[in-house]
Amino acid sequence: MTITKLLLLFIFFCSFRLLAQEKIIDGQIANEVDIEGIHILNQSSGYNTVTDDRGRFRIQAKIGDTLFISSIRYQPTQQLIDREITEAGKLEILLKVLVNELDEVVLGHQLSGNIQADIKTIKVVDTLNFDDVGIPGFKGNPQERIVPTWQAVIPTSVNLEAIYKHISGYYAKLKKKRKWEAQQTAVARMINFYTPEFFRESYGVPTDRVYDFLLFCIETTSVRTDFLRENYAGVLDAFKSQGAIYVKRLKAKAE
């Protein structure tokens, strides 16, 4: 083996070790309101933490990892860990406030004052209301369909767009995004249903850790499904069993 090849191999080995090396990243949420209890997840390794009352957090990460930042008040955000962040060991994140905006209102034909003439220019569209006819039906905005791999390539046709979305990882990211959106919705509903004080008094979970605790329950039990099905006995059983584990881990971490 030539010296050049040995040098290239050495450089590659050093680069690989640098990329694979995890470091402690000190993070800071730059917002000023409701910055305590924001959930931070390293999607690559599974490490997770929450911010303190000053919006600070610490988490293990390496180059190429992706942090997922989520809370009820702010829009979910992803942060790629690059070389600059790992070398500095610091990260500042500014979150966007989650605001429910009304759809834009578009005015149609202007009225002339002549009732008979105006009536003729107004377009009336009958909308289907599933409740009126007594049958179940979907009323929301349809989501993009994720085409299974086996359907992307069939003898009669090839779905190039679906194949590209599988290869590029688009579908994988879309699945993960939908999973997190569903989990956040469930967490928000459970917090509103039970209140943070309930978890503190019943299971010893600090109020600033309730959001993280519920995500832990959702990841490890069927609590989300039970809550949606109104199986509240199953929900409370999950809270009790996971609450003991969660609080024990918090105490061990504090020590």
Q: What is the domain-level CATH number for residue 45?
A: 2.60.40.1120
Domain end position, chosen among 71, 93, 115? 93
**pLDDT bracket for residue 110 (50, 70, 90):** low
Residue 27 and residue 12: Cα distance in Å, rounded?
30
Residue 171 CA to residue 178 CA, distance in Å, equals 10
| Structure-model confidence comparison of residues 227 and 128, the more confident one | 227
Q: How many domains does one find in the chain?
A: 2
> Stretch 105-123: mean pLDDT, rounded?
53
Q: What is the mean pLDDT of the chain?
A: 76
Q: In the prediction, which pLDDT does 122 show?
A: 55
Boundary-marking domain end, from 93, 112, 139: 93
Per the CB < 8 A criterion, the answer to whether 175 and 146 are in contact is yes
Residue 114: inside a domain = no
Domain boundary residue, one of 77, 93, 109: 93
Structure tokens at 109: 């034909």
**Does 129 fall in a domain?**
no
- Residue 128 within a domain: no
The reply to whether 214 falls in a domain is yes
Domain assignment present for 2: no
Confidence of residue 101 (pLDDT cuts 50, 70, 90): very low
Q: Domain of 219? A: 170-254
Instruction: Convert the pLDDT of each residue in 43-97 to its tens digit.
Output: 887 778 888 889 999 999 999 899 988 887 788 888 999 999 999 999 999 998 8
Q: Does a structural domain hold residue 11?
A: no
Structural domain contains residue 49:
yes
Q: Is residue 197 part of a domain?
A: yes
Of residues 39 and 120, which shows the higher confidence score?
39
d(CA 116, CA 232): 58
d(CA 94, CA 219): 27
> Among the listed ranges 4-13, 25-34, 64-73, 118-127, which one has the minimum average pLDDT value?
4-13
Q: What confidence score (pLDDT) does residue 183 get?
A: 81
Which of 188, 197, 248, 196 is closest to 224 using CA atoms? 188
